[in-house]
Amino acid sequence: MFLGKVFVTLKKSVLDPQGDTVRKSLHTLGYSMVEDVRVGKYIEVRLNSQTREEAERELDQMCARLLANPVIEEYRLEVEEDDGQ
Amino acid sequence: MFLGKVFVTLKKSVLDPQGDTVRKSLHTLGYSMVEDVRVGKYIEVRLNSQTREEAERELDQMCARLLANPVIEEYRLEVEEDDGQ
């Protein structure tokens, strides 16, 4: 069993109104040291693949096809062995 | 300048309907090796703090107060130096 971790972020050129809202809220709470906030997705996928390479290849496909929107988002993934939780 | 990375996930005991929907969609696409999916948030915060320790402390407070809901979510954070992008 493998655990895939996927980090989906908006491309730098894409505006992030949710991140802007969080930044303003943090300023209101007094955290004036906050310069910028970007909000993305963090997805954990448990895979019953045979090998780590297979798990990485499959997960990369899933990202391109479903988990991320390649027009506005980019993604990064990690796969580690998972011996149950 | 420091870059804080925050990973917010639902507690294990909390149901994740969004993750279930993604898992079913992946099965429909033919990825039958997928056992479980959990969807969380990934937040990048740029901080103008003096030291890494200060940045970590401030970011941890922000998570507890705003970025995560401690009733149903848990969070993990990393802080690294950021020399611009």
Q: Are A16 and B5 in contact (CB under 8 A)?
A: no
CA distance A35 to chain B (A): 5
| CATH, residue A43 | 3.30.1280.10
* Greatest C-alpha distance within chain A: 50
Q: Are A43 and A78 in contact (CB under 8 A)?
A: no
What ipTM was assigned to the predicted interfaces of this complex?
0.89
Split into its structural domains, chain B has a count of 1
Over its length of 85 residues, how does chain A's per-residue pLDDT go in tens digits? 999 999 999 999 999 999 999 999 999 999 999 999 999 999 999 999 999 999 999 999 999 999 999 999 999 999 999 876 5
Q: Mind listing the pLDDT tens digit for each residue in B23-80?
A: 999 999 999 999 999 999 999 999 999 999 999 999 999 999 999 999 999 999 999 9
CA distance A61 to chain B (A): 10
Residues of chain A numbered 40-69 and touching chain B (CB < 8 Å) = 40-49, 55, 58, 61-62, 65-67
Query: How much is the pLDDT for A82?
Result: 87
Query: If DSSP codes are grouped into helix, strand and coil, which group holds residue A33?
Result: coil
Range of the domain at A9: 2-81
Q: Mind listing the pLDDT tens digit for each residue in A56-69?
A: 999 999 999 999 99
